[in-house]
Structure 1
């Protein structure tokens, strides 16, 4: 893998700690860790109406109370934007699938 100086752009050896052209120190830090973005779903547990606020708070690690308060405030003071957004999310976000009990396998009906 080619290594380039972030200061001057010259090519360098992989093990170099300083750039031979400009003398800048190289920081070979570990690459940032990104978590996989999961799909937005409306969970079956913890929901109040349709699970939209609970799903948003679960996906983004927000407090569900604040999401619900913001939704209500947008509904009252935002000219109904909170209601429209809630209905759009309700239609767009799929519901969490039913979990089968452990040790149970699904057998489709014979046709």
Structure 2
């Protein structure tokens, strides 16, 4: 992975909506479990989703289960494309769609 790919992957990961901080368990908040599936995470199975902020502006760093990333990226891409005027014209011109499509390739099933 080049540094350009790493940067674009990190930029795309922050596009993924995570559940509200106050709805997560302590283990999910500290990155021991996936924010979406609640699967236990290890260094090998986790993906850092980038810095987020709770309702008070306090930073936190959610993590996700690597094997579930493809499905989350596809669902996010579909939701985005359904309400994006640029995607309706040509999804290849939409930076958000391009970034999310990149995640589906970066994390295949």
TM-score range, shorter chain: under 0.3
TM-score by length of structure 2 reads: 0.25
User: Based on CA coordinates, which of the two structures has the bigger radius of gyration?
Assistant: 1
Greater share of residues in strand: 2
- Give the structure with the larger helix fraction: 2
What is the TM-score of this pair, normalised by structure 1?
0.25
Greater length-normalized contact order (CA 8 Å, ≥ 6 residues apart): 2
